Amino acid sequence: MPKYDGIVNLDEDEVEVIIGLDPDRVHLQAGDLEIGDWAPDECAIAHLGQGVYAITAESESLRFVPRDARLFEAGLNHGTGYGLSTTPKQDEGQARRGRHSKTVSGPETSAPHGESAAPPPKPLTRTLFYGLAAVTAALGAWALLSL
């Protein structure tokens, strides 16, 4: 079971927690104290933006800030089956039960999921690429003629 550490706000206190994402359970604990244990359809994890997530279960919502937001998102998307949808950001109270949402904006939406868009090649890179292609073609033609 993948586990991710981070911070939640409980009664205006910041508490270090570990969230475990099993395919059939979501575990949230602080040290030896278990905060919650839910089936995926009993809770919702909504991306609020800037590496902050809302974990909603049993009519309560906790603000969760993972230590490594990219790793946590990758775990939600790929490793555990808790994939974040590409629906617009939802209010904490409107998060659908058993679903996860992610805010999608900017140029990153045109890239495949989990990958950022690459910048366009620079003129020098393009020139070197075509030069290498031409040399390769010339060597290939020379090899064919030599046979």
Q: CATH number, domain at 15?
A: 2.30.29.30
- Do 88 and 33 lie in one domain? The reply is yes
In degrees and rounded to multiples of 5, residue 86 shows phi and psi of -100, 30
Residues 6+ apart with CB under 8 A from 65: 6, 7, 8, 51, 52, 53
Helix, strand or coil, per DSSP, at residue 142: helix
Considering only residues 136 and 8, tell me which one the structure prediction assigns the higher pLDDT: 136
- Do 53 and 65 lie in one domain? The reply is yes
- Compute the distance between CA of residue 136 and CA of residue 38 in angstroms, rounded to an integer: 58
- Compute the distance between CA of residue 124 and CA of residue 135 in angstroms, rounded to an integer: 16
Predicted pLDDT at 104: 38
- Do 78 and 131 lie in one domain? The reply is no
- Do 73 and 141 lie in one domain? The reply is no
pLDDT at 137 over 90: yes
- Do 80 and 146 lie in one domain? The reply is no
- Do 50 and 65 lie in one domain? The reply is yes
- Compute the distance between CA of residue 47 and CA of residue 75 in angstroms, rounded to an integer: 13
> Residue 110: which domain range?
3-116
Give the tens place of pLDDT for each residue, 25-54.
Answer: 888 888 888 888 888 888 888 888 888 888
- Do 96 and 122 lie in one domain? The reply is no
Say how many domains are in the chain: 2
Give the tens place of pLDDT for each residue, 74-128.
Answer: 887 764 445 443 333 344 344 333 433 333 333 344 455 555 667 788 889 889 9
- Compute the distance between CA of residue 61 and CA of residue 32 in angstroms, rounded to an integer: 21
Q: Is the pTM of this model over 0.95?
A: no
